[in-house]
């Protein structure tokens, strides 16, 4: 990409604006020491392609993770069932201790 230097521009500000290292701007534009630029000067800005997003996991990885989650849900369901049974038994004991008849279901 080409860029025309504007008033107030510096190599540092141009590099920061385009996310390019200053030394890279100097190198690709063959700017000699003392690395001066001037208004109206055309500079080549090396544009780097944006990195791709996170890779999509392979399908077998998704299936494996899904299987693991389904097992965890099954384990949690069993634990909830056991807890409900314990609560019911405790309620029955409380009812017996308090002398309340328990309705049959």
Which pLDDT score, from 0 to 100, does residue 87 have? 95
pLDDT digits (tens, 9 = 90+) for 46-105: 986 656 667 766 777 788 888 899 999 999 999 999 999 999 999 999 999 988 776 665
**Residues 61, 39 share a domain:** no
Question: How many structural domains is the chain composed of?
Answer: 2
Q: Would you report the helix, strand and coil content of the chain in percent, each value rounded to 5?
A: 50, 5, 40
Does residue 51 form part of some domain?
A: no
Q: Are 44 and 29 in contact (CB under 8 A)?
A: yes
**Residues 61, 19 share a domain:** no
- Domain of residue 37, residue span: 2-44
Is residue 41 over pLDDT 90?
yes
pTM: 0.46
């Amino acid at each position: 990409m080409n860029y025309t230097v504007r008033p107030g521009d510096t190599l540092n500000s141009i590099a920061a604006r385009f996310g390019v290292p200053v030394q890279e701007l100097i190198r690709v534009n063959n700017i000699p020491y003392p690395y001066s630029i001037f208004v109206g000067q055309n500079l080549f800005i090396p544009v780097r392609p944006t990195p791709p997003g996170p890779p999509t996991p392979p399908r077998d990885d998704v299936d494996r993770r899904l299987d693991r989650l389904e097992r965890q849900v099954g384990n949690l369901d069993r634990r909830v069932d056991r807890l409900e049974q314990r609560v019911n038994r405790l309620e029955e004991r409380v009812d017996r201790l308090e002398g309340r008849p328990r309705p049959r279901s």
